[in-house]
């Protein structure tokens, strides 16, 4: 095992008295109030975890919080390092592998995304059913051995998606389903690129999630992912796109999103 991962697991075992939770929730933009739902929480800054990255994007706290939601133990990651920050897709590789080594078996990802579906307006929630790795970057570049050839069929676990859909229904929310296109960024997409993504079968676009899914599947973890639509994609309406706009829309929709996420966590069978 990598020394940084071993050291990280040691820190977690020292700071967290209980066994590792089975579920880790990775919070994207607009989802961070979920961390406030945790009871009996213990915070560990990413800076104290050798395998975790340092974060430099607004709205990402850089704290791992471990506690319970409705009696379900969960580890909550307060943000991710994006590929656009370094040009590499492996920013979260050490963190996810450390969580797997600690005993986490499910990575539940959240993100903010742009909608390419006219029926899926800002504030809507979408279960990711599959993805397009348009950037064609992998966090597994340079990995040795044949296990780097990871099967990505059903990377977003179908049974967990159905459990999530049922949980959202209890909150009076219907979850959309669709394909997520990963665009590396940091610039937003052009209208021409959005038209191409739509032709390729994608319903949402964003700058995260796909590298973390690849790492998690390589580590043997199950993956579930939910996108919060914060805007219509480029060219679909007149508004100018910006990170500030993304954050403002995400904040306005966060209460409902967090309620759904809390219900989902409590309903998952892992």
pLDDT digits (tens, 9 = 90+) for 95-107: 999 999 999 999 9
Percentage of residues in the chain with pLDDT exceeding 70?
A: 94
The answer to whether 101 and 3 are in contact (CB under 8 A) is no
Nearest Cα residue to 164 out of 226, 208, 256: 226
**pLDDT of 242:** 67
In angstroms, the CA 72 to CA 69 distance is 5
**pLDDT of 225:** 98
Give 235's pLDDT tier (boundaries 50, 70, 90).
confident
In angstroms, the CA 108 to CA 28 distance is 11
**pLDDT of 194:** 96
Structure tokens belonging to residue 128 = 């990711």
Q: Tell me the per-residue pLDDT of 169-184, one tens digit each, with 9 for 90 and over.
A: 999 999 999 999 999 9
Angle at 237 (CA atoms; ends 235, 238), nearest 5 degrees: 95
Rounded to 10 degrees, what is the CA torsion of 180, 23, 258, 138? -30
Query: If DSSP codes are grouped into helix, strand and coil, which group holds residue 1?
Result: coil
- What are the strands, taking DSSP E only, across the chain? 23-26, 39-45, 63-69, 72-77, 106-115, 125-133, 176-182, 204-206, 222-232
Give 5's pLDDT tier (boundaries 50, 70, 90).
very high
**pLDDT of 241:** 64
Structure tokens belonging to residue 89 = 């897709």
Give 85's pLDDT tier (boundaries 50, 70, 90).
very high
**pLDDT of 81:** 95
Give 18's pLDDT tier (boundaries 50, 70, 90).
confident
**pLDDT of 261:** 97
Residue 190: left (phi > 0), alpha (psi -120 to 50), or beta?
Answer: beta
Q: Give, as one character, the DSSP assignment of residue 80.
A: -
pLDDT above 80 for 89: yes
In angstroms, the CA 12 to CA 146 distance is 30
**pLDDT of 176:** 98
Structure tokens belonging to residue 112 = 């903010």
CATH of the domain spanning 3-267: 3.40.50.1580
In angstroms, the CA 56 to CA 61 distance is 9
Q: How many CB atoms lie within 10 A of CB 36?
A: 10
Contacts of 9 (CB under 8 A, 6+ apart): 98, 101, 102
In angstroms, the CA 180 to CA 203 distance is 6
**pLDDT of 59:** 57
pLDDT above 90 for 228: yes
Q: Tell me the per-residue pLDDT of 133-155, one tens digit each, with 9 for 90 and over.
A: 999 999 999 999 999 999 999 99
Domain ranges of the chain: 3-267
pLDDT above 90 for 108: yes
**What value does the mean pLDDT take over residues 71-75?**
97
In angstroms, the CA 240 to CA 64 distance is 33
Q: Tell me the per-residue pLDDT of 36-62, one tens digit each, with 9 for 90 and over.
A: 999 999 999 999 999 999 887 655 679
**What value does the mean pLDDT take over residues 207-231?**
97
């Amino acid at each position: 095992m990598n020394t940084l991962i071993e050291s990280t697991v040691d820190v977690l075992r020292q700071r967290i008295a209980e066994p590792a939770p089975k579920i880790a929730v990775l919070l994207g933009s607009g989802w961070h109030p979920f961390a406030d739902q945790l009871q009996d929480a213990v915070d560990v800054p990413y800076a104290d975890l050798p395998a975790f990255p340092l974060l430099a994007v607004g709205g990402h706290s850089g704290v791992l919080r471990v506690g319970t939601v409705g009696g379900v133990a969960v580890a909550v990651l307060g943000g991710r390092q994006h590929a656009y920050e370094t040009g590499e897709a492996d920013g979260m590789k050490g963190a996810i592998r450390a969580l797997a080594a600690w005993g986490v078996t499910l990575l539940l990802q959240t993100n903010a995304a742009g909608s390419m579906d006219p029926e899926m307006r800002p504030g809507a929630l979408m279960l990711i059913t599959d993805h397009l790795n348009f950037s064609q970057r992998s966090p597994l570049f340079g990995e040795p051995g044949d296990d780097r050839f990871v099967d990505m069929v059903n990377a977003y676990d179908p049974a967990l998606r159905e459990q999530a859909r049922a949980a959202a229904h209890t909150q009076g929310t219907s979850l959309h389903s669709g394909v997520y296109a990963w665009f590396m960024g940091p610039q937003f997409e052009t209208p021409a690129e959005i038209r191409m993504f739509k032709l390729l079968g994608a319903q949402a676009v964003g700058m995260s999630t796909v590298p973390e899914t690849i790492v998690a599947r390589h580590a043997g973890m199950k993956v579930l992912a939910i996108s919060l639509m914060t805007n219509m994609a480029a060219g679909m309406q007149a508004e100018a796109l910006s990170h500030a706009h993304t954050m403002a829309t995400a904040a306005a929709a966060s209460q409902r999103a967090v309620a759904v996420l809390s219900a989902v966590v409590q309903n998952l069978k892992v």
